[in-house]
Amino acid sequence: MRIMPIKSKKGGLEISINTIVVLILAITMLGLGLYFIRNLFGGTVRQFEEVGSDIERQMIEQMESEPGRLIMREHRITLKRGETRRLFYGIRNEINRPENPGFPIDIRCDYVFAGASTGGQAANPGHIRFETVPNARVAPDDIRVFHAIVNVDPNAVPTTYECRIRVEPNYASQSFFVEVTR
């Protein structure tokens, strides 16, 4: 019978030290990656907010120089199926009632634009949804800009939809078009 020499236990210690070093390097790289991503997207969010305030300023200047109770930045929006986008609109309050609790806002697509091709498919205007403030509070003789989030369902039929924004049932309204592409 042959006796095996006892091996040194240094090998086991070396593996655990290597594992610890790799783990520390991995955590460091993860931290650096998260820091980079946070700074990258933080700047993008800041730029997006600046663009929104620039649009708001332009729309207020436009409403100050033109008559009308409701103004929209765009009258035709093109979106792909499943896409989301902001739609800006401004309201001028010509009602001098300080007790005015706000203007109810209703945005919806009522039907497919006449003459628009649906490729033989049944288009459903309900596939385009809008999220906005339910009541737009605007001080008397003031102008405010709001935005709505336009969501196009991934199953929406590619065609042109005629939509309308209504401010209080009879205060102001305006039509616009949403073109859905593939």
pLDDT at residue 26 above 90?
yes
Same domain assignment for residues 72 and 61:
no
In tens, the pLDDT along 111-134 reads 776 655 555 566 677 788 999 888
Same domain, 59 and 73: no
The stretch 31-41 carries a mean pLDDT of: 78
User: Residue 103's CB: how many other CB atoms inside 10 A?
Assistant: 23
Please tell me which of 3-7, 62-66, 86-90 the model is most confident about, judged by mean pLDDT.
86-90
Q: Where are the alpha helices (DSSP H) in the chain?
A: 10-65, 168-171
Structural domain tally of the chain? Answer: 2
Q: Is residue 2 part of a domain?
A: no
Average pLDDT, the chain: 79
Count Cα atoms within 13 angstroms, Cβ side, for 115: 0
82 and 137 in a single domain? The answer is yes
From first CA to last CA, the distance across the chain in angstroms is 79
Q: Is residue 4 in some structural domain?
A: no
Is residue 69 scored above 60 in pLDDT? yes
Q: How many CA atoms lie within 13 A of 27 on its CB side?
A: 6
Q: Are residues 92 and 167 in the same domain?
A: yes
Does 154 lie in the same domain as 74? yes
Residue 99's pLDDT band, with cuts at 50, 70 and 90, is low
Residue 170 contacts by C-beta under 8 Å, 6 or more apart in sequence? none
SS3 149: strand
Domain range for 125 is 68-181
Residues 43 and 78 in one domain: no
Do 75 and 53 share a domain, yes or no? no
Q: How far apart, in whole angstroms, are the C-alpha atoms of residue 154 and residue 7?
A: 65
* 37 in a structural domain: yes
pLDDT interval class at 27 (50, 70, 90): very high
Give the pLDDT score at 120.
58
- What is the pLDDT averaged over residues 172-177? 91
Q: How far is CA 50 from CA 46, 83, 88, in A?
A: 6, 22, 14
pTM over 0.75, yes/no: no
- What was the pLDDT predicted at 37? 77
The pLDDT tens digits of the residues spanning 133-161 come to 888 888 888 888 888 899 998 988 888 88
